[in-house]
């Protein structure tokens, strides 16, 4: 019998905290079917290291995933070279990327209702000669869509980004009318689709200090951002901005908004992580599949200690299941 929602959970970087967070999760009763897409020897080795009594069960597509405490369904992925907690090994990188590919393809072909990702280490994947800037960009390419949007969210704040994993020196050139329009439309549409907002109210940050100070501190607001926002307003999207980013994240603005659209990674994410690190979710909008993730990285310093906090993974699973349920409802309506 097929469960209501079955999520693929990729365990991420083998040397990081991902494998143990998957095991920690399996200690409790789960509401949704969760299938760890990972090497079962890695999970067993980490369970042994931490003394976690979790029974790993081979999962067969089309069957219910384990939800009982102490049991975890696993879709085994071959190719792991080493399993030492805290020590990166480029020889593991192809395996890591393969877990993502299997989970994403499983979502595209209906085997899974969505995927939740533990963190990967972008550096070691690139060290292995694989061009990889993040799950977000990888899934955009795998799913064959032109644009996706990274959004991190807590219960109180949602922050989406116009640009993602880009060197700061390249950000200004990437803020084009076309990108701004695509990102804003995706943000508006997916907040309606997945979060039930009838007309999401979006605050848009400027790029330059003080949103350009009338052109004296940069012209991107006047030449690119304002004209693009004006066109989008004519489509019915509720936009405020461009606002100075330093004062945008204050109750005056946030109390009457549903999301913030920041121009670049470290304009928006430090605020979100200061507000809710450890309980936030990273969501990829604009994909034909549901994908959520944790708000933290591989935390190599904690791997193998059992001290990593699983709060964000729980949020990622809860939000992923909620989005998958909304997507299914839309399909059947």
Ligand X SMILES: N[C@H](C(=O)O)[C@H](O)COP(=O)(O)O
Ligand Y SMILES: NC(=O)c1ccc[n+]([C@@H]2O[C@H](COP(=O)([O-])OP(=O)(O)OC[C@H]3O[C@@H](n4cnc5c(N)ncnc54)[C@H](O)[C@@H]3O)[C@@H](O)[C@H]2O)c1
**How far is it, in rounded angstroms, from Cα 129 to Cα 122?**
11
Which of ligand X, ligand Y, none does 302 bind, CB closer than 5 to 8 A by kind? ligand Y
For 8, 111, 297, 311, 312, the CA distances from 278, given in Å and listed in that order, are: 21, 29, 11, 6, 5
Which of ligand Y, ligand X, none lies near 6, with the C-beta cut-off 5 to 8 A by kind? none
Task: Choose the binding region for ligand X from 11-19, 67-75, 82-90, 128-136 (rule: CB under 6 A).
Answer: 128-136
Q: Which does 272 bind (CB under 5 to 8 A by kind): ligand Y, ligand X, none?
A: none
- Considering Cα of 208, then 212, then 215, then 217, what sign does the dihedral take? negative
Among 73, 140, 298, 322, binds ligand Y (CB under 6 A): 298
Element (H, E) at 72: strand 71-76
> Among 293, 312, 315, 322, which residue sits at the site for ligand X (rule: CB under 6 A)?
293
119 binds ligand Y (CB under 6 A): yes
Q: Find out whether 115 and 291 touch, Cβ atoms under 8 Å.
A: yes
**136 near ligand X (CB under 6 A):** yes
Is 307 annotated to bind ligand? no
Binding of residue 259 to ligand X (CB under 6 A): no
The residue among 32 and 265 lying less far from ligand X, judged by its C-beta, is 265
Q: Is 269 in the site for ligand X (CB under 6 A)?
A: yes
| 295 touches ligand X by CB under 6 A | yes
Residue pair 211/222 in contact by the 8 Å Cβ criterion: no
Residue 230 burial (C-beta neighbours within 10 Å; 0-12, 13-18, 19+): exposed
Q: Which does 46 bind (CB under 5 to 8 A by kind): ligand X, ligand Y, none?
A: none
Q: Which position has the token pair 């990702």? A: 117
Beta carbon of residue 282, minimum distance to ligand X (angstroms, whole number): 5
Give CA–CA dist 32/149, Å, rounded.
Answer: 26
Stretch that binds ligand Y, among 121-129, 146-154, 228-236, 253-261 (CB under 6 A): 121-129
Angle formed by the axes of helices 93-108 and 135-143, nearest 10°: 50
Alpha-carbon span 331 to 215, nearest angstrom: 47
> How far does CA 297 lie from the centroid of its chain?
11
Residue in the shown chain whose Cβ atom is closest to ligand X: 134
- What number of CA atoms fall less than 13 Å from residue 176's CA on the CB side? 6
Q: Which range in 22-30, 131-139, 166-174, 319-327 contacts ligand X by CB under 6 A?
A: 131-139
Size of site (CB under 6 A) for ligand Y: 18
The token duo for 111 is 């085997």
Binding-site partner at residue 269 among ligand X, ligand Y, none, CB < 5 to 8 Å by type: ligand X
Q: Which of 293, 316, 320, 323 binds ligand Y (CB under 6 A)?
A: 293
Residue whose CB is less far from ligand X, 85 or 262: 262
Q: Is 41 annotated as a binding residue?
A: no
Minimum CB distance to ligand X, residue 141 (Å): 12
Cβ–Cβ < 8 Å for 263, 221: no
**Rounded Cα gap, residues 88 and 286, in angstroms:** 32
Query: For residues 240, 272, 265 and 125, what is the CA-based torsion angle, rounded to 10 degrees?
Result: -150
Q: Quick check: 308 binds ligand Y (CB under 6 A)?
A: yes
* Residues contributing to the annotated binding site: 135-136, 165, 210, 265, 273, 282, 291
Residues that bind ligand Y (CB under 6 A): 17, 119-123, 135, 282, 293-294, 296-299, 301-302, 308-309
Residues that bind ligand X (CB under 6 A): 134-136, 265, 269, 282, 293, 295
């Amino acid at each position: 019998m097929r469960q209501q929602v079955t999520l693929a959970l990729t365990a991420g970087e083998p040397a990081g905290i991902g494998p143990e967070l998957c095991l920690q999760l399996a200690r409790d009763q789960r509401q949704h079917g969760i299938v760890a897409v990972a090497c079962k020897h890695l999970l067993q080795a980490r369970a042994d290291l931490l003394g976690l009594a979790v029974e790993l069960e081979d999962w067969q597509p089309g069957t219910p995933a384990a939800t009982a405490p102490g049991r975890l369904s696993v879709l085994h992925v071959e190719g792991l070279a080493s399993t030492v907690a805290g020590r990166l090994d480029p020889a593991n990188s192809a395996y890591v990327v393969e877990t993502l590919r299997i989970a994403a393809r499983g979502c595209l072909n209906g085997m899974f209702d969505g995927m939740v990702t533990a963190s990967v280490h972008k550096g070691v994947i690139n060290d292995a000669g694989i061009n990889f800037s993040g799950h977000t960009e990888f899934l955009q390419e795998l799913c064959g869509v032109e644009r996706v949007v990274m959004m991190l969210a807590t219960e109180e704040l949602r922050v989406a980004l116009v640009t993602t994993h880009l060197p700061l020196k390249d950000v200004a050139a990437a803020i084009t009318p076309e990108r701004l329009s695509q990102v804003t439309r995706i943000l508006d549409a997916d907040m309606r689709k997945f979060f039930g907002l009838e007309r999401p109210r979006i605050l848009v940050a400027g790029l330059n200090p003080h949103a350009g100070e009338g052109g004296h501190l940069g012209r991107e607001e006047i030449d690119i951002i304002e004209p693009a926002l004006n066109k989008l307003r004519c489509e019915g999207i509720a936009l405020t901005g461009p606002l100075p980013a330093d004062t945008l994240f204050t109750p005056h603005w946030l109390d009457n908004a549903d999301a913030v659209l920041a121009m670049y990674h470290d304009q928006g994410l430090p605020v979100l992580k200061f507000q809710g690190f450890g309980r936030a979710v990273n969501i990829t909008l604009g994909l034909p599949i549901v994908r959520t993730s944790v708000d933290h990285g591989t935390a190599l310093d904690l791997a193998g200690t059992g001290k990593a906090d699983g709060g964000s993974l729980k949020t990622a699973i809860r939000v992923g299941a909620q989005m998958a349920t909304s997507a299914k409802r839309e399909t059947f309506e």
